[in-house]
Chain A
């Protein structure tokens, strides 16, 4: 009886450590350099994703907007919030790029073409980025202390079970979608 208790206690501790402790130990948080409300831009300013995350003339994706893009509207403070003041004073006026921490940053051995996925395959931004475009504030950036990857690559759920389509950006997630769509890419389609 006593032996059984200790055996199950050990098992329970391990399960607790694995499912609860591991994510806490594995991921560290880092604050974004500036808070940003997608909601204000989408709802109030009636902008869509491509207003800032645009495609260049040659079809390639510009990614995170550069400061001159922000400066087009925020050359002067729009509103009185501390964030707005910080944006103008610290970044727009000295023309300094904001060092955004990108939740969906892929490793350097991977290439991903937004143009092919959005324009050709007609995927919605939400398919991979969820409701990020409607958030009122930026959640802290979390990174894996071992691999250095953003937590969004593995996904919020440590088990990777019962995930929404946008939770997780590992190779398996890409391949699942490619299988679902019948899109052949081969190794060099995504890897350099």
Chain B
């Protein structure tokens, strides 16, 4: 007869033996796996895996990428080629962008979903009767840019304009100083020392991948000067913090130090000497907050490790420098003897189809009745004030954009353009003489409209003739054919002149190869130094002596700087990039205002406080972050894809918005 005690003993024996069996360990393992694989967690569909070679077109660095596909779905993006084992978080998550919450899947008219035909009809009505139509192409140099030019020329009263292209500003200033005899480019592959003044060379600049690779090998010394401790500053061997707005004074101070070491023979030397004499290093020191020795030390570093180049352009968020600053930075290259020298600034053949563009800021104020703003491949930050001062009262603005963010959200109508990877895109960098094409790898949604389709429909409504082959793909193929017939450069390791047909070049490009141009024949550039004429001298001294406008200083004691990176104007960021930014602190997340702890203490503010950043133009609510790297009496506003804080900046007649005076209060 089984007793209660027997059952207890049986159970006791079982329990005692349980640890000697795999039951607890195995079940623990299995249950922990089970909890990671709940049945409602979506599992990606299986399919045939493949990798498509492409290039990232989200910024102008143009990193070569491989898009991993499962059947016809892009599932990840990885680096390839000269990108040294890594691509940025933005590129890594670029395949997520077509599903971004702010992505437009249908056109908008007056904030409501509308068909493309309704938008076309409204734009055609606004543009009829000889009204001024302007096109603002935020990423010129593309095949689509050529189509915009064709449309503007067919329109007659149309103006094709671009923003100031920061990456080529120093080169263009030098080209002017060379008398416009040659087109120039930086010889990044051979430069020994690079002084970037505000320019984020490693962070979205054309050719960044090649420079990152050379830096990793220790083949190039990077020095960065600027008002904020940017990613470029962090990655450079030496960071020279400049007082906000003092880049021009810095250039003149450095010019003085270089000339003290012995100036080279150059036209205009006497005039330039007199500018430097009137702006001694001590004055530059006072304006930049640098010690006078720093200028001499920097001059020795540049001349001691030549060829050295100086690059201006400013960063993506705070916009371009004044023309005078660029001229002085260009002059530094002349003083360093880097113009026309290998490893410095060399000649390049003209870009096929390269044409001089009108700058947006060159249009008369309040003159544009209809604006077509292409934001599909932006990458520049552009404040609303820069656009609005050129618009006539009641102007009709139509934005061609993938995202309902940034300036597109203020436009009367929006053309919903395909997202990255859904359409042909390209990286064209005239200053770098490289060109690459990214094919579409994903089918675009029904309601989206390509910019060329929109222009063709608008031309139809306006009764314009645009000619044959008005499509991005045709234009891309035309450019490949022009390059092939000129037998210039190489692609996929093969000289173009050895390619039998233009189709071979097109095939190589559409499979992810990059075309790089041949070098131009050495030309005797003979640049002249600026300042030869009295009015030129006075203009440069005025720029160097100017700081922020003092009339607006009262009550606004802090210098407000916009900070961001190549994606600042791109409209949207993939969740991966945002997660990396927020969690790693590698970049300051958007919506943060950063101040030096000393400045914040003086205002009674602490980290994490919600604050209002105010300027004469308005206010923006942000979260305060404290950062020792921020200069005292300055506040840095981090921009997102929508460029939220840019409305605080006033744009000058020259199209610059370097800084604004601001105050910060607890919100």
User: Which residues does A use to contact B, with CB under 8 Å?
Assistant: 2-4, 6-15, 17-19, 22, 26, 56, 58, 60, 62-63, 66, 107-109, 144, 146-149, 154, 158-159, 192
Contacts and interface: CB of A to CB of B under 8 A. Distances in A.
Contacts of B21: 14-15, 17-19, 22
A11 B16 contact: yes
Interface string B47-62: 0111101000000000
A22 B27 CA distance: 10
A107 B27 CA distance: 18
B30 A146 contact: yes
12 contacts: A6-B10, A8-B13, A10-B9, A10-B10, A10-B16, A11-B13, A11-B20, A26-B30, A147-B29, A148-B37, A154-B26, A158-B26
A147 B30 contact: yes
Task: Name B's interface SS.
Answer: helix
A56 B9 CA distance: 63
B18 interface: yes
A9 B49 contact: no
Contacts of A10: 9-17
For the complex of A and B, 10 pairs with smallest distance between CB atoms: A18-B21, A10-B13, A11-B17, A6-B9, A146-B30, A147-B33, A10-B10, A11-B13, A7-B13, A14-B17
Contact of B51 (A6, A8, A60, A148): A60
Given A3-B9, A18-B21, 7 more contacts: A9-B10, A9-B13, A10-B14, A10-B15, A60-B49, A107-B33, A146-B33
Contacts of B6: 2-3, 6
Contacts of A14: 13-15, 17-18, 20-21
A115 B66 CA distance: 16
B356 interface: no
A78 B213 CA distance: 54
Given A8-B13, A10-B12, A58-B51, A3 B18 contact: no
Chain B's interface size range is 35 or more
A22 B23 contact: yes
Interface string B30-47: 110110110000011000
B85 interface: no
Contact of B43 (A4, A56, A108): A108
A169 B610 CA distance: 50
B341 to A, nearest CB: 40
Contacts of B50: 56, 58, 60
Nearest to A56: B50
Most buried by B among A8, A11, A58, A60: A11
Contacts of B18: 14, 18
Contacts of A15: 17, 20-21
Most buried by A among B22, B27, B37: B22
A100 B170 CA distance: 61
Contact of B34 (A8, A18, A146, A154): A146
Contacts of B30: 26, 144, 146-147
Most buried by A among B9, B43, B66: B9
B217 interface: no
A26 B7 CA distance: 27
Contacts of B31: 146
Contacts of B550: none
A22 B10 contact: no
A78 to B, nearest CB: 25
Contacts, number: 102
A185 to B, nearest CB: 14
Given A3-B9, A7-B9, A10-B9, A26 B37 contact: no
Given A13-B14, A15-B20, A22-B23, A66 B66 contact: no
Most buried by A among B21, B36, B53: B21
Given A6-B13, A7-B13, A10-B17, A147 B49 contact: no
Most buried by A among B29, B53, B76: B29
Interface string B157-188: 00000000000000000000000000000000
Nearest to B32: A147
Nearest to B76: A192
A49 B14 CA distance: 48
B22 A66 contact: no
A15 B21 CA distance: 6
B22 A158 contact: yes
Given A18-B21, A60-B51, A7 B66 contact: no
Nearest to A61: B49
A8 B11 CA distance: 10
B44 A108 contact: yes
A62 B15 CA distance: 49
Contact of B10 (A7, A109, A149): A7
Contacts of B9: 3-4, 6-7, 10
Given A11-B14, A60-B51, A3 B5 contact: yes
B66 A58 contact: yes
Interface string B342-379: 00000000000000000000000000000000000000
A149 B37 CA distance: 10
B26 A26 contact: yes
A146 B28 CA distance: 10
Contacts of B17: 10-12, 14-15, 18
Nearest to A10: B13
Contacts of A56: 50-51
B66 to A, nearest CB: 7
Nearest to A149: B33
A62 B51 CA distance: 11
A3 to B, nearest CB: 5
A147 B44 CA distance: 18
A22 B50 CA distance: 41
A22 B6 CA distance: 25
